[in-house]
Amino acid sequence: MQTLDVISVNLWQILISLLNLLLVFLIIKKFLFAPVKKMLAQRQAVIDLQYADAEKAKTDALADKKAWEEKIKNADSEADTIIKKASENAKFRGDRIVSDAREKADGIIRAAEMEAALERKKAEDAIKHEIVVVSTALAEKMIAREVKPSDHRELVDSFLENIGGGDD
- Does the pTM exceed 0.75? no
| The pLDDT value given to residue 30 | 85
Q: How many domains does the chain have?
A: 1
| The pLDDT value given to residue 142 | 67
* Residue 3 covered by a domain: no
Q: What is the pLDDT of residues 13-64, one digit of tens each?
A: 999 999 999 999 999 888 888 788 899 999 999 999 999 999 999 999 999 9
Residue 67: give the domain boundaries. 11-167
Of 46, 48, 29, nearest to 37 by C-alpha is 29
* Residue 35 covered by a domain: yes
| The pLDDT value given to residue 168 | 47
**Whether 136 contacts 160, CB under 8 Å:** no
* Residue 50 covered by a domain: yes
Q: What is the pLDDT of residues 84-127, one digit of tens each?
A: 999 999 999 999 999 999 999 999 999 999 999 999 999 988 88
Which range scores top for mean pLDDT: 10-24, 68-82, 134-148? 10-24
Q: How far apart are CA 96 and CA 56, in angstroms?
A: 58
For the chain, count helices (H), then strands (E): 3, 0
Q: How far apart are CA 147 and CA 158, in angstroms?
A: 15
| The pLDDT value given to residue 158 | 80
Q: How far apart are CA 128 and CA 168, in angstroms?
A: 14
Kindly indicate the confidence band of residue 145, based on its pLDDT and cuts at 50, 70 and 90.
low
Name the residue type at position 111.
A
* Residue 2 covered by a domain: no
**Per-residue pLDDT averaged across 132-161, rounded?**
72
* Residue 70 covered by a domain: yes
| The pLDDT value given to residue 146 | 62
CB atoms within 10 A of CB 68: 11
**Whether 132 contacts 164, CB under 8 Å:** no
